[in-house]
Structure 1
């Protein structure tokens, strides 16, 4: 599948091109992965699977190697489209919702050294964008009906999808990965310009050396900071990441041992779908001000709820709330 590799002097490959999705380089602004280039789709993606109300228990595989020749027996015309993308060291095998749901299992690319996994988000984003454009031509839907839900590196992948598709409806970023993204150009990460509406839940926004794997920076139309956006109640205390891991970006074991807060964003979002309790949140300048009772209303407008129904609100900006330490997380 690899059709071209351009090699730089002493620097290794500086450009790679793959059939159907185009070329990638590691020049600015894509310097965040320290020269690592994205691998080919076949080396990164395990499978793409379609679930609908007619095949909830058995997904239909989508042939991502032939994106321009897709014929899906279970596609539900007229139904909204949800694309669910997992993050670092995870998999994407579970169905979600009652729509045209495409789950993205890119475990082949997400279980690598972190910098390589970060680079692979570009391949996954390009493949999904190509698939969606092909499906649109076949089934005639609006991209405004597409909702991408991404966790961790999956949230950053969603940003790459949005940069390739105009007027994408919505992106939900569930604790977007911070390392190798937070301090870099918006071209390499999720930002509010990647969709008509971008909502973000920050649940692990500690400094990286304190084992924070999420991003602190606001990057959506509306950003939610449950419990301040850092360490989540009920999770083990964070353990500092060693200097060797920082330099090598090889922190698989560290990630698995401290990912509780990072994963909470996903659980909060799922709970917002499955329960009647609302994660009501409040605008505030800081979590400290919120905790001292300085932010207790949203003026004349209803306060937004964190999670699936956040798009109902016209509110924009940073919002704070508290949760319980275990499920159910929503406070009544």
Structure 2
């Protein structure tokens, strides 16, 4: 069989505390509806909108704030960046802030950890070392309140939000409010949302916000776009009943990495029960729950902060399946690339509507992949079959002779071949690591045929 293939175009798509008196609590006759007050912090009310027969059938009362022991850790870098980071616990008091070296004339980046984690965890350290900012960086440590069981931890999360509210009010006391960016993981992302309902937050970055007991609930229960001027969300773990992340949109821009399916080179761990069923006996104190796909969210974010080359770029599409099939390849016009977006500390986009964006990654660092839109035309040859199924290997060479190998494979979709029709043009998305090819001098395609069944 003779096939004549025309490479119509290769288009590069890229995007560049003070503690008050113990809490008081009142519980109504309506099961589980309660109000808990924490003196100077204020009160928490759990009303009917916090309940749903399927999505959130029960709400526990939070623990006492003295038990949760929320701490604020001001993290600074030494002039000699080879030296360890400096950690100073600060309180929501003028004297403490003054002694700590907190810069009241600068903005604030808050880092909030997840269930079973702590404020000195690895991703916090990596983000601080990756940031090139003069802003204050404060990690919120609520480790004692983040222990299993999960239902207790998410109740405690609301008290943590009140503590953060008091801290923000203290640092802004007598000053013109400066920008606040909250970078938060898992349950921490919903804490960020609660904070945003109390004080003005410039930006929230939600790193794989927790799905179970939050997803499909009213905005008051979870992170949503009204919680900050700009809310960006990275989804990496929403593919089965053991997943910790959410599959629904929670921000202005929601990035779905590899469709939020099992991330490349991640294995499903069954070492522990489903995280919502953990208790203190199944997870040793100080142990952070393994969750490869869930943790990829902060790994991708950290790489985005560190890399000056490849840029994680999401492309708008109706679904991940359509995106993976090459149905969404354009960022828009030359003057308006609104169908694409990137993420990071410098991105604060004026958003007129919420959107889902999709992108694929590698299974190991560097995770970022450059994407290329490739149009392939099968000549209408009377001797050829009407349909052919297979795939192409693609090699691209730029004007300097630099060569890269690109693949059209993608994660989560079992079908790795494509169906081509004679006389028709098909667009596919190919992926490759650095360096990125901007001017294609030569493209080579190798056809890998698959029998049609």
TM over 0.5: yes
TM-score computed with the length of structure 2 as normaliser: 0.65
Q: In the alignment, which residue of structure 2 is the partner of 1:147?
A: 181
Equivalent residue number for residue 142 of structure 2: 106
Q: 5 Å matches for 1:250-289?
A: 250=279, 259-276=291-308, 277-289=310-322
Matched residue, 2:193: 159
Match of 1:324 in 2: 362
| CA 248–54 in structure 1, closer or farther in 2 if over 3 Å, else same | closer
Structure ID, larger Rg? 2
Query: Is the contact made by 2:74 and 2:88 (CA closer than 8 Å) also made in structure 1?
Result: yes
Shift of the alpha carbon at 1:72? 2.8
1:134 aligns with 2:160: no
Cα distance 1:141–1:325, how it changes in 2: closer, same or farther (>3 A)?
farther
CA separation of 1:10/1:181 partners in 2, compared to 1, >3 Å: closer, same or farther? Answer: closer
TM superposition outliers: structure 1 runs of 4+ over 6 Å = none
SS of equivalent residue, structure 1 residue 184: coil
- Whether the 8 Å CA contact 1:204–1:231 is kept in 2: the answer is yes
Q: Deviations over 1:112-168 (max 9, x none)?
A: 200011111101111101110111014x1425x1001110000010000001113x2
Superposition RMSD on alpha carbons, in Å?
2.8
CA distance in 2, matches of 1:47, 1:216: 31
1:42-73 Cα deviation digits (max 9, x unpaired): 22135211124568722221125xx5764333
For residue 185 of structure 1, the aligned residue among 218, 222, 228 is: 218
Partner of 2:65: 41
Q: Distance in 2 between matches of 1:24 and 1:33?
A: 18
Contact persistence 1:14–1:35 (CA under 8 A): no
**Cα 1:13–1:279, aligned 2, differ >3 Å: closer, same or farther?**
closer
How much does 1:310 deviate?
3.9
CA distance in 2, matches of 1:299, 1:184: 33
Say if 2:227 is the partner of 1:194.
yes
Q: CA deviation at 1:249?
A: 5.9
Distance (whole Å) between structure 2 residues aligned to residue 246 and residue 85 of structure 1: 19
Structure 2 regions of 5+ residues with no counterpart? 1-20, 371-453
Does structure 1 retain, via aligned residues, the 8 Å contact 2:22–2:38?
A: yes
- The whole-number CA distance in structure 1 between the counterparts of 2:351 and 2:225 is 15
Q: Structure 1 46/164 Cα, relative in aligned 2: closer, same or farther at 3 Å?
A: closer
Contact 1:156 1:189 in 2 (8 A): yes
CA–CA distance in structure 2, aligned partners of residues 298 and 10 of structure 1: 51
TM-score, normalising length: structure 1: 0.87
Q: 1 or 2, which has the higher strand percentage?
A: 2
Query: Counterpart of 1:83 in 2: which secondary structure?
Result: strand
CA contact 1:33–1:119 (8 Å) conserved in 2? no
1:96-123 deviation digits (Å, cap 9, x = unpaired): 1332001011110111200011111101
More helix by share: 1
Q: Secondary structure at the match of 1:326?
A: coil
Aligned equivalent of 2:157, options 114, 121, 131: 121
| 1:157-236 correspondence runs (5 A) | 157-166=191-200, 168-207=201-240, 209=241, 211-236=242-267
Q: Which moved more, 1:68-77 or 1:285-294?
A: 68-77
Q: Which residue of 1 aligns with 2:98?
A: 72
